[in-house]
Chain A
């Protein structure tokens, strides 16, 4: 320990980093980046907290804990968790099929997986509403079973599953592609059944990627607005999502109420961003894919 301390003390102070920069433009590009980031993102976002913070605490609490708002949290977070779980299961199967099997139309399937990224949410919303309404292609099949999807909380779930599809597929797919075949070969040669190989070898390796995909889909679903409102029916206390609460408050010129609820959503967004960053770091470590 002393030797190490002496070494650090006696080693020459490292050169200032600026001396080793060969490329020009560091100050300029970093400065412009910070200015633009502040103007477009950071200052506007801080407005939410400053505005919400100017409310007395009691009033703030009353707004964000009103029964109608709490019901919207339950629906938004519940449906988002469920949608992310559904996406994890089926997205995994889709990613597995795309990496491990050949089938006709594979390239088309691979390209269309990103449809929810490219299709405007309002278009997705009215299309899903048309499909699942009682006279739509899917709705008319479910109606005889007594299942109503459109204009119920189930409709919210369907919309959130739609917008979450690419997240799990696109996080798991590259990890599956780069998985070492030798691991499975070794397990198989040691007598493991295919199911055992999957559960004991593959799943632990893929778990961080699956969880990252889940978290990404969940975070996106919680904030989603466009695709949900057309199919949800938007009945207060039943099928009203939190982003819609903000819109409703704005339409009633209740800016403080809208800002308070937006603050809750923003805090959640920051927390999810942190979780996702940690998961991605874990995933990169587990699969040995240095960043």
Chain B
């Protein structure tokens, strides 16, 4: 989103008007046709299929699947997990971005790479590591058992696995943004006597608010939708440790397709809202850049 570069329709219009950067019309049509066929086949059809399968047996079956007690319990748990995991990673993301973007120190690149690490770990492995720590045979298993604390196959384990997989979202959104904005404004505020927190709240925060929101939205979508990692630590106790994606799996494996797709359609709506907000933020952030020019 660099300033001064044309975007979207204006950019494409420039390419299409310039004889040196446009293809013969037949080739343009061919490329568009192939690209859009791929897009419809792999992205649009699965999305449409979710809603179509959910409503296959009518609205009554659809609604019944959503108000059923186990479904409601899974919705509550999913929201609870996101309400804990997202703020934790939000606070961490801001702190980490402040340290990395506003100061120079040795090992900065390594630290940035390590923050991204959870993105490259398979979700199944992400769940497994918490079993190794807190499971019955794990490092702290005996101690936890003696003190009657349940982490895996209970809500704390689900929260931990979710925190792990959503760990990088806010930080990786903020670090490049705060690096690009430099330190001059914050340094001026500090020199003029603002405390660290005042500087952050009055100077830094206003300029990173959209990036922050962007990271939070993506973090939330992943937190609510995580399947593999949560599946390993949940124990699949119906009505107690099943999040929405796990509830979808159970219903599907019971051949209760209408109900499975009904719950899945809620998650698909969440995904669509996420994408809409994301597009809105990109448009807002893009507009801010243009105004600043």
Q: Are A225 and B122 in contact (CB under 8 A)?
A: yes
Tell me the complex Cα distance, A258–B128, Å.
Answer: 8
Q: Are B183 and A23 in contact (CB under 8 A)?
A: yes
Q: Are B15 and A99 in contact (CB under 8 A)?
A: yes
Which residues of A approach B to under 8 Å, CB–CB? 17, 21-26, 29-30, 32-34, 36-37, 40-45, 47-48, 51, 90, 93-94, 96-97, 99-103, 106-107, 109-124, 126-128, 130-131, 136-138, 161-162, 165, 177-178, 181, 184-185, 187-189, 194, 197, 219, 222-226, 230, 243-244, 246-247, 250, 255, 258-259, 262, 265-266, 269-270, 272-273, 276-277
Interface hub of A29, A123, A184 (most chain B Cβ within 10 A):
A123
Interface hub of A119, A189, A230, A272 (most chain B Cβ within 10 A):
A119
Partner of B43, one of A42, A165, A187, A223: A165
When distances are taken between beta carbons in the complex, the residues of chain A under 8 Å from B270 are 118
Q: Are A23 and B190 in contact (CB under 8 A)?
A: yes
Question: 7 closest pairs, A vs B, by CB?
Answer: A120-B225, A223-B122, A226-B227, A24-B196, A225-B228, A188-B20, A118-B271
Q: Are B225 and A114 in contact (CB under 8 A)?
A: no
When distances are taken between beta carbons in the complex, the residues of chain A under 8 Å from B248 are 120, 122-123, 126
When distances are taken between beta carbons in the complex, the residues of chain B under 8 Å from A106 are 8-9, 12
Partner of A226, one of B5, B183, B245: B245
State whether A120 and B267 are in contact (beta carbons under 8 Å apart), knowing that A44-B130, A246-B125, A250-B128 are contacts in the complex. Answer: yes
Tell me the complex Cα distance, A250–B235, Å.
Answer: 11
B186 CB-CB contact with A under 8 Å:
yes
B239 CB-CB contact with A under 8 Å:
no
Partner of B103, one of A26, A109, A188, A272: A26
Residue of A nearest to B117 (CB): A41
Q: Are A225 and B227 in contact (CB under 8 A)?
A: yes
Q: Are B103 and A21 in contact (CB under 8 A)?
A: yes
State the Cβ distance, A169 to closest chain B Cβ, in Å. Answer: 10
State the Cβ distance, B147 to closest chain A Cβ, in Å. Answer: 19
Q: Are A90 and B115 in contact (CB under 8 A)?
A: no
When distances are taken between beta carbons in the complex, the residues of chain B under 8 Å from A48 are 125, 128-129, 132
B69 CB-CB contact with A under 8 Å:
no
When distances are taken between beta carbons in the complex, the residues of chain B under 8 Å from A26 are 99, 102-103, 105
Partner of A189, one of B20, B187, B199, B260: B20
State the Cβ distance, A141 to closest chain B Cβ, in Å. Answer: 11
Partner of A127, one of B27, B47, B103, B122: B47
Tell me the complex Cα distance, A151–B257, Å.
Answer: 17
Q: A118-B218, A119-B271 are in contact. List 14 more A-B contacts (CB 8 A).
A: A21-B103, A23-B199, A30-B105, A94-B35, A107-B279, A111-B279, A113-B43, A119-B225, A119-B268, A122-B248, A126-B248, A131-B45, A162-B46, A181-B15
Partner of A223, one of B121, B138, B232, B271: B121
- Chain B interface SS verdict (over half): helix
State whether A32 and B53 are in contact (beta carbons under 8 Å apart), knowing that A22-B190, A23-B183, A94-B38 are contacts in the complex. Answer: no
Q: Are B9 and A131 in contact (CB under 8 A)?
A: no
When distances are taken between beta carbons in the complex, the residues of chain B under 8 Å from A101 are 12, 15-16, 28, 31-32
Q: Are A97 and B35 in contact (CB under 8 A)?
A: yes
B276 CB-CB contact with A under 8 Å:
yes
Q: Are B227 and A127 in contact (CB under 8 A)?
A: no
Tell me the complex Cα distance, A123–B267, Å.
Answer: 7
When distances are taken between beta carbons in the complex, the residues of chain A under 8 Å from B7 are 177
Q: Which of B46-99 contact A (CB under 8 A)?
A: 46-47, 49-50, 53, 92, 95-96, 98-99
Interface hub of B45, B99, B125 (most chain A Cβ within 10 A):
B125
